[in-house]
Structure 1
Amino acid sequence: MTTVRHHQVVIVGGGTAGISVAARLRRRGVTDVALVEPSEHHYYQPLWTLVGGGLAKAGETVRPQGKLIPKGVTWIRGRAAGVDPDNRTVTLAGGDTLAYDQLVMAPGLQLDFEAVPGLAESVGRNGVSSNYRYDLAPRTWQFIQQVRGGTAIFTMPAGPIKCGGAPQKIAYLAADWWRRQGVLDDIRVILLLPTATIFSQPDWARVLKGVAAGYGIEVRYESQLVEVDGDSRQAVILDGKSGSKESVDYDLLHAVPPQSAPTWLKNSALADPASPFGYLAVDQYTLQSARWPDVFALGDVANLPTSKTGAAIRKQAPVVVANMLAARRSRPLSARYDGYTSCPLVTARNRMLLAEFDYELKPTPSFLLIDTMKPRYDMWLLKRHGLPAMYWQGMLRGLV
């Protein structure tokens, strides 16, 4: 028997975005907040690159979901399966229905390993791994250590993905380790990028080109992984400029899968027709739906012209909460998100660049007296220790 429950605010998704918004709403006095999230575990995903590079343990990145749900928030341990913004309802996989006054969409995105033929069957064995999954990041480090020569391929898919710098960060960490082992000269390192440049922001792109060149990495622009034969250890690479395909033998393949909105959302009324990946349509400044003023979206699922990062969510969450409260009082939505995002780009085992910029790709540094366009040890410490602490103790509590 199905039931219908009503809440003032329903938040779909208990990841970074969902919990951050829930915590801020509770701090602002909103008493009836429900959070829809099926997972019993919560992950700090930005650290998975370091797990794959042998610089952190996977166990450091996971905590029980129940301990992170803000006090006073109703945790609905189910999976959302449908949304009807006209009737203000969310349907759960079990058949129950949630009615809402305001809806926050923050379910994140999904990893489409099956979109590359052979990848889903190969990942986790025969030298194929991906730091984009908790169970696979430790495998990446195991495979890196096994390579003493041959070819290592690192890929990035086309389309918006979470943490656009992660596909190349693991290439730098692997190359740095191989160099320290004295075997880098015996390894052909290939970095496949679907884009025409190594990074979207031109200032940091110039620095990263130098980093890649310093390791002798063969950067192939406008190229993609289109097929994997795990048993034969062969990767098929598509050259987007010529349209030609090449089969390359590999000893290590770190593959970042294509990504998209959750399947149940792709064809929903909330999906942006302009997004071939099914991401949700909201105003890029207010994060409110143009068609349904009671609906907001943020985080990876929102179709925004900026990189999908936790740092972006840190700036989006207070905008969503301020504008939700304004809408409840029939006031103008004055809070604005300027597209700020941050990419902590690890370039070696103890060095990092911190790329911060907005919608216009204008640098927006948080540390005015520090040159963050230079790989630095202090920025590495921020990545390894400072940002995780800020995440667990600050963001998820609605404090930063």
Structure 2
Amino acid sequence: MVGVNVNCNRYISVTTQIMAAALTSQAALLRRGSRVFFSVNCHVHSSGGVTSKEHYKIVVLGGGSGGITMGARMKRKIGAENVAIVEPSEMHYYQPIWTLVGAGAKIITSSGRPTASVIPPGVKWVKSRVMNIDPKNNTVFTDSGHKISYDYLIVALGLQLHYEKIKGLPEGFEHPKIGSNYSLQTVEKTWTALQNFKEGNAIFSFPNTPVKCAGAPQKIMYLSDAFLRKTGKRSKANIIYNTSLPVLFGVKKYADALWEIVKSRHIDVNLRHNLIEVRADRREAVFEDLDRPGESKVFEYEMLHVTPPMGPPAVLKGSSLEDHAGWLDVNKHTLQHNKYANVFGIGDCTNLPTSKTAAAVAAQSSVLQRTITKVMKKDKPDKEYDGYTSCPLVTSYNTVILAEFDYNGQPLETFPVDQSKESRIMYHMKADIMPHLYWHGLLKGLWGGPGPYRKLMHLGMK
């Protein structure tokens, strides 16, 4: 089923070209000479070793999508020498593509690039792990002995995966038939388990915690269904989706479309089922029934995809930056911390009540830049984040339902078509255009989400 007609496809194609052209023109205006702006080898970095106290006007904690994006934006605002990014990892990964890696549609090497190549040129890279944050004294401490003070702090530390909260994991991944698209170490195990599937239950889980990219557990399920059909094994497979949630998807418009898909493809959905144990040696998964405390059910599996419980960065605990659940406590409209006026947050580590996705980071980044600009001038923030986020729900190897919505769970669609329909064009955007937009737009601080283009395509009415 394809939900976009030929005329709309041409419209979307032209729009995509407009976006690309806009990015190109922005880059041309911002660079001081293309060799310097785009060079990978012209960074000034520091790493390792015990150093004396350092001070920067802006310190960014985390080198993921939010941290690199804000580093690039702040560099252009106040100069590279005034910005530092604290990040220990040598590699930076575009994680949304791991859905396709787990299904054999992309290779893992396509998802990663050296961190050195994405740190904004000239920005100080402190290659260390954050050990302690002291917001009262505007100071950050790292595991390599750095004591860094700041005027303004941007927290972009992401979230933590907790496989260990499921009994039998992570050691269970040493056995075959089990994988997870949520970590670099386990994503290829998903593809191996799918390739080696013979007959039986293929089970996909969703934990009883907030997660990043809440649609991803379903995406690999639909792709597995498609793969098993293509290889003639679907008749021997029982595909089961066990989710802790009381709904299939949080936005009704897209949930209704997904229910039609699971029914037509004979996929079993069990709501309010939470994975608590994996007996990998016996190929058994134990799920608790959240509506009947104390009751659990054992499922045998031929393939198991695990979405792990997730939580806030441990370093926030005890820092007075966190809310009651441990997430960074920020104003949901301005992204400024609710207690410390010179602290800001972006991305998965925050308590923003929206889905944790790279698309959300893009929209947040433009608002956050404006907020920081106003705060630096002693003015009140005047731009608000509406909770925009996006989840390209991959439903096969060539179709996607592009879910876009706001804080209220209301669709906030970019294109003038019904995006709850499966679309080949949207799959092309997910698999080919969005990675390019990520590396060359978002991480360069040039892409703040599709808001302006949405108004253009809806003739200013949205």
For 1:320, which of 368, 393, 400 is the aligned residue? 368
Secondary structure in structure 1 of the residue aligned to 2:55: strand
Secondary structure at the aligned position of 2:297 is classed as: strand
Tell me which amino acid in the other structure corresponds to 1:97: K
Residue matched to 1:240 = 290
Q: 2:180 aligns with which of 121, 130, 135?
A: 130
Q: 1:331 aligns with which of 379, 396, 400?
A: 379
Superposed displacement of residue 331, structure 1: 0.9
Q: 1:379 aligns with which of 415, 426, 445?
A: 426
User: Is it true that 1:112 corresponds to 2:112 in the alignment?
Assistant: no
Indicate whether 1:296 and 2:344 are aligned.
Answer: yes
- Give the deviation of 1:266 after TM superposition: 2.9
Partner of 2:445: 398
Q: Which residue type is aligned with residue 303 of structure 2?
A: L
CA distance in 2, matches of 1:328, 1:295: 12
Matched with 1:91 is 141
Q: How big is the shift at 1:142?
A: 1.0
Q: Do 2:363 and 2:385's aligned partners in 1 also have CA atoms closer than 8 Å?
A: yes
The one-letter code of the counterpart of 1:9 is: I
Indicate which of 18, 21, 29 corresponds to 2:70: 21
Q: Distance in 1 between matches of 2:306 and 2:114?
A: 28
1:282 alignment partner in structure 2: 330
Following the alignment from structure 1 to structure 2, what is the Cα–Cα distance between the partners of residues 11 and 125?
Answer: 39
Gaps of 5+ in 2: 1-49, 448-462
Number of residue pairs aligned between Structure 1 and Structure 2: 396
Q: Residues 124 and 136 of structure 1 are in contact (CA less than 8 Å); yes or no, is this contact kept in structure 2?
A: no
Q: Distance in 2 between matches of 1:104 and 1:141?
A: 37
Q: What is the rounded CA distance, in whole Å, between the counterparts of 2:328 and 2:287 in structure 1? A: 30
Moved over 4 A (4+): none
* Equivalent residue, structure 1, for 2:413: 365
Preserved CA contact (<8 Å) 1:124 1:139: no
Structure 1 residue 311 corresponds to structure 2 residue 359: yes
**TM-score, normalization by structure 1:** 0.97
Q: What fraction of aligned residue pairs are identical, expressed as a percent? A: 39
Alpha-carbon offset, residue 2 of structure 1: 5.5
Work out the CA distance in 2 between the residues paired with 1:333 and 1:30: 22
Higher normalized helix content (fraction of residues): 2
- Tell me if structure 1 keeps the 8 A contact 2:135–2:319: no
Aligned-partner residue type, residue 242 of structure 1: R
CA shift at 1:134, angstroms? 1.6
Gaps of 5+ in 1: none
In structure 1, what is the Cα distance between the partners aligned to 2:247 and 2:348?
A: 22
Give the Å deviation of 1:360: 0.8
CA root-mean-square deviation: 1.1
Q: Distance in 1 between matches of 2:209 and 2:380?
A: 34
Contact map agreement 1:194 1:221 (CA 8 A) in 2: yes
Post-superposition CA distance 1:131-153 (Å, at most 9, x none): 00123212211110111211111
Q: Secondary structure at the match of 1:393?
A: helix
- In the TM superposition, what whole-angstrom CA distance separates every residue of 1:221-280 from its partner, at most 9, and x where no partner exists? 01110101111111111111123211111111100110011222233211111x2xx211
CA contact (8 A) 1:126 1:233 kept: no
Secondary structure of 1:238's match? strand
* Contact 2:175-2:281 within 8 A present in 1 as well: no
Q: State the secondary structure of the residue aligned to 2:338.
A: coil
Confirm or deny that 1:249 pairs with 2:249: no
Correspondence for 1:355: 403
CA distance in structure 2 between the aligned counterparts of 1:126 and 1:70, rounded to whole angstroms: 41
8 Å CA contact retained: 1:172, 1:348: yes
1:349-385 deviations in Å (ceiling 9; x for gaps): 11000000000111111112x3211011000000010
Q: How does 1:44-123 map to 2 (within 5 A)?
A: 44-123=94-173
Partner SS for 1:123: helix
TM-superposed CA distance for 1:28, in Å, is: 2.4
